[in-house]
Structure 1
Amino acid sequence: MNKTFLQYVAEDILRKHDTNLSRTAVVFPNKRASLFLNEELARHAGQPLWSPAYITISDLFREYSERMVADPIKLICDLHKVFNSCTGSEETLDRFYGWGQVLLTDFDDIDKNMGDAHQIFVNLKNMHELDDVSYLTDEQKELLKKFFDNFSDDMESKLKERFINLWSNFEEIYTQFKECLYRQGLTYEGALYREVVEKKQIDFRYDDYIFVGFNMMQAVEQKLCERLKALGKAHFYWDFDDYYMREHNGINHEAGTYIRQYLQQFPNELDASDKDIYHNFDKPKDITYLSAMTENIQARFISTWLKDKKRIEDGRRTAIIMADERLLPTVVHCLPPEVKHVNITTGYPLQYSPVTSFVKLLINLQTIGFNASRNTFSKKWKTMLLRHPYMKYIQDTNMVFGKAYGDVASMNTWLVGLLQEIGYGYASASGEDPFVQEAIFRMYTLFNRLETLIVSGELKADLNIYNKLINQLIASTSVPFHGEPVAGLQIMGVLETRNLDFDHILVLSCNEGNMPKGVNDTSFIPYAIRKAFGLTTIDNKVAIYAYYFHSLLQRATDITLSYNKATNRTSTGEMSRFMLQLMVEGPQEIHFKNLNAQQTPMRSRKQAVAKNEEVMNVVNALHRISPTALSAYLRCRLRFYYRYIAGIKEPDNESEEIDNRIFGNIFHRSAELFYTDKNHGGTIHADDIEAALKDKSLLERLVDKAFKEKLFEVEADKNVTYNGLQLINRQVIIDYLRKLLRIDCKLTPFAILGLEEPVEKAFYIDTSCGAKQIYLFGNIDRIDKVETEGRARIRVVDYKTGSNADMKVKSIDDIFNPEKIENHTDYYLQAILYALILRDSHSLNPSSLPVSPALLFIQHTAGNDYNPTLLLDKQPIMDVADYQEEFIDHLKQLIEEIFNPDIPFSPTQNTKQCQYCPYRNICG
């Protein structure tokens, strides 16, 4: 096991400064390494010691400025106002936000590299300004001239003109933006750094500043280090390897670009000739390059990789590095159960957390889910919200659905209140998952910050801009993981690896484009000008990533680098240029392997569910069964199991579009409303129906009321607005209702005995546990009393809005034959069962009249001789009693089969039944 760089640093600090480090500050590029160095100092001291102060380079600068660095949202909001003011533009905040970030990055880069903003933003049209460039070197002049050649007169275009006009305002934007922030006691990071180094007097509070593990330093950082060095307060520890500090084929290695420059100016406290510290690439290493077709295959390999070579046992000496940090969710799910301790340093994207889906549902409810014309929320968004797990933390659902908010200010306040509510609710419900708590807190903090900006008037936006802005902010926010940083497997992004050494390393997605990142630079300042004025360029970023890559590997002995070899829209399928460079120039032998999915396609196979003890407990608890359930069993026993035993509900219609079920419900309710209104006299006469048919608005009013109840779910006095499809369906239902009335007119006089009448009857069956009472129940659409050929009978009428094509039933046997179910024999089962129940009901049939089952198919009522009475072998069932004994025997046999433990819930063999089955994806 190699000693780490921080171990060498700790030993040297103690040797030179002893154990009293109270007047010493250790400065790191980032915070992470301080925990490891502190542990090494304590371990090597072997006695109590005064720990040094651990600060980042950013902390060091901020300590000597009275200004605060404003948060990113505030900075972009202020920059947006300044930009519109200087350019006369009316660019909206959501459109500006993305390239406002680019502009802010450019300003930050200018200040951190102490660039002359006036010279950088000089108007490109005034070419004569190039005459006074005495401050430029010959190389810089040449670079600028090459850039300006692209703007010759013969290449003039509207795009170029717009860019030049925009550029001409950049200096004013830069200056006014700074002034705007200064007036508020605020600034951005680059401006703060520049302000500090330009101060004539700084009273540094520590006696010694130890800079550890830096690579590229911005001009402001170098200035500050020079100042501290001149005071005798600065000491430097550089982490590098001789391999990339020396020339290769007469060319300096890019990984050592910056440290080579700084070593003369800021001498190393460690001995650069010490081979144990700085010649680790020459030592044996086991390096493997893995190619895979997808990132997911790489992630799935993690489990296999960790279980080999004591990688799990070595804990924090083992690291998984994500060159593409978007892999984090997949990586976390691919960790094997043997990993007991893990530390994740990169944040989990907030957009993947449950609180984000909740917030987006809330915003959609208030925007696209609100119908202003009828002042109601969409059923779809209400249903989706009610199903969200976070709704259980809200005590009063009125907080969610009680009011619509038409402006950004009130909506944001509402969202802040709801996030606060679920935060309290989660904590009160013994929510102990720190990640969930942190995600809720991060989201609350984000909206609370927006609240401050909105109330102060600094953020002005309409709901559309606000929604887009929220999406951008959530996408750029991450949730930090909590863990013990110095214990267990380490999972991190590339930037977190600085100053840290590992024995076992797995780098995922080490592709060109991920390693190095940012090769396709986005900036308003072209490359040539950036290069001429010493700003950060692509070259700088490549050199920085070259250092990250090589310093990560230099002390490791077990290295695996994986990359995606597939070419697609987001990947070229190429390994990183640094991997290629290591192959050509490196002193190590490299092994090449291919990662294959090792999966064979599995054919879906439908399997029966045996009636074990657990299943039979649920079956035996059934006491009420509907005809719909019996029909489901006949169609497919497995479907019956999913719905009525496993309790997996079929999905509801969450939208305001009309499916077959909703269409039928609206028609049924319309017919019920008509006959409820007309049934006061007991008997329906032809005059009643003819008058209704002449009243053009009556049927429309009834159908509209049914729509409000069954689709829109609003009160009758609320206004509703129909979309195109709804208008078509509305007209079809009105026509269907008119058809029903015309066929009923021929039937007059008749009496309505019941509408949507609930019925129930007890049946006794034999089971393996003895006799059992089962209630068969349902709702009858319509019960009427009619006379034909001078003989009165009662009809049990079931309305059908579909087609009766191929509905040919010859016998009672056909009704209970699963192979005949496609002929809609289940319609017969329901109608005959209801008729039998009604026949024995004294309250609905006190005179014990004959009862006929009827299926009234609205689409087929045009003929003069249309008769909805059910036919068996082409003969109408005038009295259901004629078939009672045979039907009950079959019915009893069917129900007893459900309760028979020896008959499993098997899938249907008729695959046509599967086409529209909601459970087809479960059973395969």
Structure 2
Amino acid sequence: MNTFLHDVANDIIQKYGTNLSRIAVVFPNKRASLFLNQYLAKSVDKPLWSPAYITISDLFRQHSTKVVADPIKLICDLHKSFNEVTMLNESLDHFYGWGELLLSDFDDVDKNMGNPQLIFSNLKDIHELDNLEYLTSDQLVALKRFFSNFSEEQDSELKRRFLQLWSNIELIYNDFKKRLARQNIAYEGMLYREVAELRDIEFKYDLYIFVGFNMMHKAELAICDKLRAIGKAKFYWDFDRYYMPKEKESEIDQEAGRYVASYLRNYPNEFDNHDPAIYNHFTEPKAITFVSSATENIQGRYVSHWLQQGRRMEDGSQTAIILCNEGLLQTVIHSLPSTYSDISGEKELKVNVTTGYPLQQSPVSTFVKSLFLLQTEGYKADLRKYRWYWVKKVLGHPYSAYLSENIHELLIKLNDRPRVLLQKEELGDDEGTQLLFKPVEGNEAICSWICEVLQYLGIAVAKQMNNRQEALDPLLQESLFRMYTLMNRLLSLIQSGDLSVDVMTLQSLLQQLIASTAIPFHGEPIIGVQVMGVLETRNLDFKHVLILSCNEGNMPKGVNDASFIPYSIRKANELTTIDNKVNIYAYYFYRLLQRAQDVTILYNNACNDGQKGEMSRFMLQLLVESNHPIRRENLNAGQTPLSLMSAGIKKDENVMKVLDGMEKISPSALGVYLRCQLRFYYQYIAGIKQPDNQEEEIDNRIFGNIFHRAAELLYLPYTERGNRIELEDLQQIKKDELALKRLIDRAFKEEFFNSSANEQVEYNGLQLITRQVILSYMKNLIELDMKKAPFFVIGTEKEIDLWYNIKVGSAERRINLYGKIDRLDRTVQDELQIIDYKTGRASKSMVFGSVDEIFTPKSVDKHADYYLQAMLYALMVSEDTKINPNKRAVSPSLLFIQSTFNNDYNPILAINKKEITDIADYKDVFTEEVMRLVAEILNPDNNFEPTAETHRCTNCPYRQICKSSEKC
């Protein structure tokens, strides 16, 4: 079977010989020209003058003095025309989204040679619709219904501006085109229309051969008409009789062939339309397989398996992998086998990737994003300081290491003492770090600085690779170049005054540009397995075809009717509609399959991640309408997911080595063990640190630390002087809100900002709210203390410990239990009270009938670990002869700040509803339980098991490495 381009090449040689230098072959895209050129060369055995290969867009641009401007420049100029015509003074930030839609409408009107005066009539006045005689009654009803939502009686600001746009849309259109013409630039539709409307065009070539077109705009057809009128146009149409309009009404009519059928009448085919050797391949025997999969990525990994079946790899360029979802490119590339075997031995698999690598998926994209945020979110201009969170983002990026050899040491140094705000002088003093942390303000300065950093990075990379005698990374080189070009273009638009937006809109534009930019692959396009997108398959035929992610929404591509021009007016004026777009993709689909012999189509059947789990409508058509037998398969992973960790951890030699060296255990560690033994292992045996708060906001731990420090500072003067705290003292403290705020600010600086007491800091919105919450908590604390005044504060944040001789098996271990008491009070009745602050809310179920109940794992959900900690502190104080030489009674209490709003709130702990006025009453049973628990931890025969209460896994910092979290 010959391909379509092979037949075209033979026909051209037969009709025009080997001197084709005065002929231009016009394609919808450039890729097909490479294959046609190869077929032309193979068709003759003597020297050949190749024709010129151009796209339809090239044909128009060759006959215009104007240059097609980039989209951002066009939107900026459209914005100027909009404001001048409407006199609304709309900001570019608000207009940009509208502008993209409006520009698309203008482009469509011009490419289809629409009458702008007719299309852009003043539709604000609903009565004018009655005069549009070219519309059917149904279309008029639809339009009246559409515009009834935009009556002037409604005072919606959005609708008012929309009506203002509609009222002046023709004036905006005309002013915009004049503005562009003065600069000798245009949007593509404007250029198309101007060339199509030229009376006399001096065409460069003697003959223009149009090959493999489907849907053509009216402007394109107008050029075809001009060339045909002077005998300079020939046409080769690519189709199959299967999907062309049928002569009998009983036969199924396919949408794929509607455009080609309509063109054949006016633009006759160079081939015989009924030649079965060219146009009757779809009904030939084909092996078609539909494969459903549960994920997108598994489709990419399937590629290797598919290629190794039959002769798919050996046939090279006759094999194509089509990506309906081009986001699968990375997975596909990594899944391609490097070699294959045939009768002559092992060979390297050659691959040609046509889609281009997305710039958005390259490291330079995240680097530039981090740089942008460093100067916007990360720099406080009024304080001349950088936020640590954004500094860490930049320093942690691998590209930063190219800028300075000191980056790694700087990151370690700053990690040792993390601070919320950092001075520039703390961020290195070499050339690379000085450039990286150069404060800039304003869009122009930011873009210029990023260009400077990228340029410096490119030089530094080349220098380091040269020093190491290593080859430059092509992806790094090309991505840097593309990003630098993109940033430089943005900078020039800002400098010219065309792009005047706020920094948030600039950031959004930058992300749009990055998302739409691809890094081209270099290679031999006509050799090897072809990996391409749907649009790149035009005019090309393959023997083996694998189509990935052929879901509804991908094939046809998610089409929508977003436009300022209603569907009815579009239909009446023969502009592009959703119907047109669906027909175009139908042609792509069926044309790709018509000459193929081996077809495999995959689709995602999962209804998640935005997927509907529906196969393409064209696949359904094949099932119902074609006579081909279609095999259905399901793609499974074929392997059991690997559990990251075992259910429990045995106390092997390494674990026991840590346990044998453990001489000190804190009450909080005992609480962790009760909560989950596996969590205890990760934290205290494996030594896996919990991740620090990566955000600039305040988590529960930091919140508690700030409150504890503020409370300590509140009573510190009384502790140092040993003064008795009277009710009047507390009343005065509560009134002096400014003094309380100063204490809180100091606590913030020490616990959150990590700055000195005299250093100025600035709170953001959420931090101010947190500051106010802590102030209210401090007042609650004072009010609660007022109820028990007078009293003495013996100590705050007081360290204390107690030694136990614990029997583990036949051996005895001496273990030190230690901790830090939030506050130790002495009442006027000469009793001691342990106060443990809790910034959370007390559990209503925090009731225990006995001491041993506190030591059961299930009781942890009732804050049993809090009880254990407070009671253990009380026992330590009771047994400490220095703190309590007179053997005073010691009572434990938990002060839940949020619960102090209740008038009947009592912080003193109780067992079986009886207050613990003296921990000595419970010493024996409590000590026995503590020793049993510690002995269990140290016992080599007990594994560290995950908790059975899997709801605790939700907030566990180790849940991602723990098997038990899979149950949650």
- Taking structure 1 as the reference length, the TM-score comes to 0.76
Distance change in 2, residues 1:263/1:815 (3 Å) = closer
Matching residue of 1:319: 320
- 1:345 maps to amino acid: T
Matching residue of 2:280: 279
- 2:177 maps to amino acid: K
- Using the alignment, how far apart are the partners of 2:214 and 2:907 within structure 1? 91
- 1:593 maps to amino acid: R
Give CA deviations for 1:843-865 in whole Å, capped at 9, x if unaligned: x9799999999866335999999
- Kept in 2, the 8 Å contact 1:650–1:918? The answer is yes
Matching residue of 2:722: 684
Which runs of 5 or more residues in structure 1 are unaligned? 133-140
Q: Pick which of 258-267 and 485-494 moved more.
A: 258-267
Give CA deviations for 1:862-912 in whole Å, capped at 9, x if unaligned: 999998999999695789999999999879856754xx5x75433234557
Matching residue of 1:503: 543
- 1:919 maps to amino acid: Y
Q: Following superposition of structure 1 onto structure 2, how do residues 129-148 of structure 1 map, counting pairs within 5 Å?
A: 143-144=134-135, 146=137
Q: Following superposition of structure 1 onto structure 2, how do residues 433-582 of structure 1 map, counting pairs within 5 Å?
A: 442=482, 444-470=484-510, 472-473=512-513, 476-477=516-517, 485-508=525-548, 510=550, 514-517=554-557, 520-527=560-567, 529-530=569-570, 533-561=573-601, 578-579=618-619, 582=622
- Kept in 2, the 8 Å contact 1:852–1:880? The answer is no
- 2:150 maps to amino acid: L
Distance change in 2, residues 1:655/1:687 (3 Å) = same
Matching residue of 1:780: 820
Matching residue of 2:958: 919
- Using the alignment, how far apart are the partners of 1:48 and 1:850 within structure 2? 112
- Kept in 1, the 8 Å contact 2:802–2:818? The answer is yes
- Kept in 2, the 8 Å contact 1:851–1:879? The answer is no
- Using the alignment, how far apart are the partners of 1:790 and 1:523 within structure 2? 82
Matching residue of 1:609: 649
Distance change in 2, residues 1:39/1:866 (3 Å) = closer
Q: Pick which of 3-12 and 597-606 moved more.
A: 597-606
Distance change in 2, residues 1:366/1:833 (3 Å) = same
- Kept in 1, the 8 Å contact 2:143–2:568? The answer is no
Distance change in 2, residues 1:20/1:764 (3 Å) = farther
- 2:31 maps to amino acid: R
- Kept in 1, the 8 Å contact 2:799–2:820? The answer is yes
Matched, 1:590 2:629: yes
How big is the alpha-carbon RMSD for the aligned residues of Structure 1 and Structure 2? 6.1
- Using the alignment, how far apart are the partners of 1:865 and 1:181 within structure 2? 77
- Using the alignment, how far apart are the partners of 1:846 and 1:293 within structure 2? 66
User: Cα distance, 1:212 vs. partner?
Assistant: 3.0
- Kept in 2, the 8 Å contact 1:351–1:474? The answer is yes
User: Cα distance, 1:593 vs. partner?
Assistant: 2.9
- Using the alignment, how far apart are the partners of 2:607 and 2:20 within structure 1? 54
Matched, 1:706 2:697: no
- Taking structure 2 as the reference length, the TM-score comes to 0.73
- 1:113 maps to amino acid: N
- 2:773 maps to amino acid: I
- Kept in 1, the 8 Å contact 2:725–2:791? The answer is no
User: Cα distance, 1:284 vs. partner?
Assistant: 1.4
- Using the alignment, how far apart are the partners of 2:761 and 2:93 within structure 1? 36
- Kept in 1, the 8 Å contact 2:850–2:911? The answer is no
Give CA deviations for 1:356-384 in whole Å, capped at 9, x if unaligned: 66666676777778899999887877777
- Using the alignment, how far apart are the partners of 2:82 and 2:687 within structure 1? 59
Q: Pick which of 349-358 and 94-103 moved more.
A: 349-358
Distance change in 2, residues 1:37/1:638 (3 Å) = farther
3-state SS in 2 of match to 1:552:
helix
- Kept in 2, the 8 Å contact 1:800–1:855? The answer is no
Q: Pick which of 14-23 and 369-378 moved more.
A: 369-378
Q: Following superposition of structure 1 onto structure 2, how do residues 802-813 of structure 1 map, counting pairs within 5 Å?
A: none
- Kept in 2, the 8 Å contact 1:350–1:478? The answer is yes
Matching residue of 1:857: 894
3-state SS in 2 of match to 1:858:
strand
- Kept in 2, the 8 Å contact 1:320–1:490? The answer is yes
- Using the alignment, how far apart are the partners of 1:853 and 1:236 within structure 2? 101
Matching residue of 2:772: 727
Q: Pick which of 656-665 and 69-78 moved more.
A: 656-665
- Using the alignment, how far apart are the partners of 1:532 and 1:873 within structure 2? 86
Q: Following superposition of structure 1 onto structure 2, how do residues 197-346 of structure 1 map, counting pairs within 5 Å?
A: 197-199=196-198, 209-225=208-224, 236-245=235-244, 247-249=246-248, 254-260=255-261, 262=263, 268=269, 275-289=276-290, 305-306=306-307, 308-312=309-313, 314-323=315-324, 325=326, 343-346=352-355
3-state SS in 2 of match to 1:559:
strand
3-state SS in 2 of match to 1:319:
strand
- Kept in 1, the 8 Å contact 2:791–2:828? The answer is no
Identity among equivalent pairs (%): 46
- Using the alignment, how far apart are the partners of 2:167 and 2:858 within structure 1? 80
- Using the alignment, how far apart are the partners of 2:271 and 2:142 within structure 1? 51
Q: Pick which of 571-580 and 109-118 moved more.
A: 571-580
Matching residue of 1:85: 84
Which of 124, 148, 159 lines up with 2:150 in the alignment?
159
- 2:894 maps to amino acid: F
Which runs of 5 or more residues in structure 2 are unaligned? 153-159, 341-348, 408-421, 425-433, 466-470
User: Cα distance, 1:183 vs. partner?
Assistant: 1.8
- 1:459 maps to amino acid: L
Matched, 1:906 2:915: no
User: Cα distance, 1:617 vs. partner?
Assistant: 9.2
- Using the alignment, how far apart are the partners of 1:833 and 1:106 within structure 2? 75
- Using the alignment, how far apart are the partners of 1:20 and 1:800 within structure 2? 91
Distance change in 2, residues 1:827/1:583 (3 Å) = closer
Give CA deviations for 1:577-633 in whole Å, capped at 9, x if unaligned: 5556556664x3232636486999999997113467887899899999766556534
- Using the alignment, how far apart are the partners of 2:699 and 2:519 within structure 1? 41
User: Cα distance, 1:703 vs. partner?
Assistant: 2.6
- Kept in 1, the 8 Å contact 2:892–2:908? The answer is no
- 1:730 maps to amino acid: L
- Kept in 1, the 8 Å contact 2:821–2:873? The answer is no
User: Cα distance, 1:69 vs. partner?
Assistant: 1.0
Q: Pick which of 508-517 and 853-862 moved more.
A: 853-862
Matching residue of 1:183: 182
Q: Pick which of 292-301 and 701-710 moved more.
A: 292-301
- Kept in 2, the 8 Å contact 1:869–1:877? The answer is no
Distance change in 2, residues 1:869/1:737 (3 Å) = farther
- Using the alignment, how far apart are the partners of 1:228 and 1:297 within structure 2? 50
- Using the alignment, how far apart are the partners of 2:911 and 2:292 within structure 1? 68
Give CA deviations for 1:171-224 in whole Å, capped at 9, x if unaligned: 322222122112222111122233345556666555665443223333443444
- Using the alignment, how far apart are the partners of 1:370 and 1:24 within structure 2? 60
- Using the alignment, how far apart are the partners of 1:155 and 1:670 within structure 2? 62
User: Cα distance, 1:704 vs. partner?
Assistant: 3.3
- Using the alignment, how far apart are the partners of 1:349 and 1:828 within structure 2? 56
- Kept in 2, the 8 Å contact 1:667–1:737? The answer is no
- Using the alignment, how far apart are the partners of 2:801 and 2:400 within structure 1? 36
3-state SS in 2 of match to 1:247:
coil
Distance change in 2, residues 1:12/1:864 (3 Å) = closer
- Using the alignment, how far apart are the partners of 1:857 and 1:829 within structure 2? 10
Give CA deviations for 1:670-692 in whole Å, capped at 9, x if unaligned: 2433455556xx54122699646
